Homo-oligomer: A and B are copies of this chain.
Amino acid sequence: MKASTNQQEKEFLTRYNIHDYEVPLTSVDIVIFTIINEEVNVLITQRSDFPFKGYWAIPGGFIDIKKDKNIKQTAQKKLREKTGYGAPYLEQLGAIGNDSRDPRGWSVTVTYFALVNAEDIIFSTDTRWSHLDKDGNIQQKLAFDHAELIQEAFQRLRNKAQYTTIALHVLPEKFTLSELQRCYEIILGGELNKSGFRRRIIKGNVIEKIAGESKQTVTRMAQLYRKSEDENLHFYMREIYAK
């Protein structure tokens, strides 16, 4: 009988208690990228609690099941706490879960990566930028497997820069095409062809000229652009190739 099944299900749910089971830890971690001084940087923060107390780590933490509606909201909250930044580019990388990454036990972490403009960031305490080398390696010894998470995120970023307009999101509101090209070159790790790059970006329809505004560079004036409102990530049918 359907009614009786419903009744049984209600009883099952009333009696259900997650603490009757052996469960993994579940957390969220965020790799926050920016570009500073022609280098890719990642935001790291010093841990104030065990485990790995005092070590540097990427921002993250546990889901607050009372307050968070969904996991992206958890990520956004953590990001805002560390950067004061409301609406960056934020994308899920995936989940990593195994029995060895956390000394507290079996751990699953859902990792996100974000792109921000460095000037928009308001640091919380014990937070700073750390630059990556050309292969996505960081200088510091980090807590947990965070160095690996950063490497994977960096690979995804580099990969995605080959066929999308993702690099736009590290720039401030106003920027020149040369600045944008330089961002791509830093992320991709190689030189790009100027006229080809401009053709491609313009066709992507993701930026627009700011009428009458230009910027003084080392030599001559350069046209300023802004991100266009409609599309914030264009996918190309063909990859760009650096070097």
Tell me if A148 is interfacial: C-beta within 8 Å of chain B: no
Mark the stretch among A94-102, A181-189, A193-201 that contacts chain B.
Answer: A94-102
8 Å CB contacts to B: which residues of A97-118? 97-99, 103-106, 108, 110
Interface pair B95/A21, CB less than 8 Å apart = no
Chain A interface residues (CB < 8 Å from chain B)? 5, 8-9, 12-13, 16, 18-19, 21-26, 50-51, 53-54, 62-63, 65-66, 68-71, 74, 92, 94-99, 103-106, 108, 110, 237-239, 241
Query: Given A71-B98, A238-B237, A239-B237: A65 and B105 within 8 A (CB)?
Result: yes
Interface pair A8/B50, CB less than 8 Å apart = yes
Interface pair B237/A106, CB less than 8 Å apart = no
Interface pair B95/A70, CB less than 8 Å apart = no
Interface pair A53/B5, CB less than 8 Å apart = yes
Copy number in the complex reads 2
Chain B residues, Cβ within 8 Å of A19: 19
CA distance A13 to B105 in the complex (A): 9
CA distance A28 to B181 in the complex (A): 41
Chain B residues, Cβ within 8 Å of A105: 16, 18, 65
CA distance A51 to B11 in the complex (A): 10
Contact of A25 among B23, B62, B92 (CB under 8 A): B23
Contact of A63 among B16, B71, B97 (CB under 8 A): B97
Leading 9 A-B pairs by shortest Cβ distance = A71-B97, A70-B98, A12-B50, A65-B106, A95-B95, A95-B110, A19-B19, A238-B238, A237-B239
CA distance A215 to B7 in the complex (A): 57
Contact of A92 among B66, B95, B106, B237 (CB under 8 A): B95
Nearest residue (CB) in B for A241 is B237
Query: Given A13-B50, A13-B104, A106-B63: A94 and B94 within 8 A (CB)?
Result: yes
Chain B residues, Cβ within 8 Å of A16: 104-105
Query: Given A5-B53, A98-B71: A65 and B24 within 8 A (CB)?
Result: yes
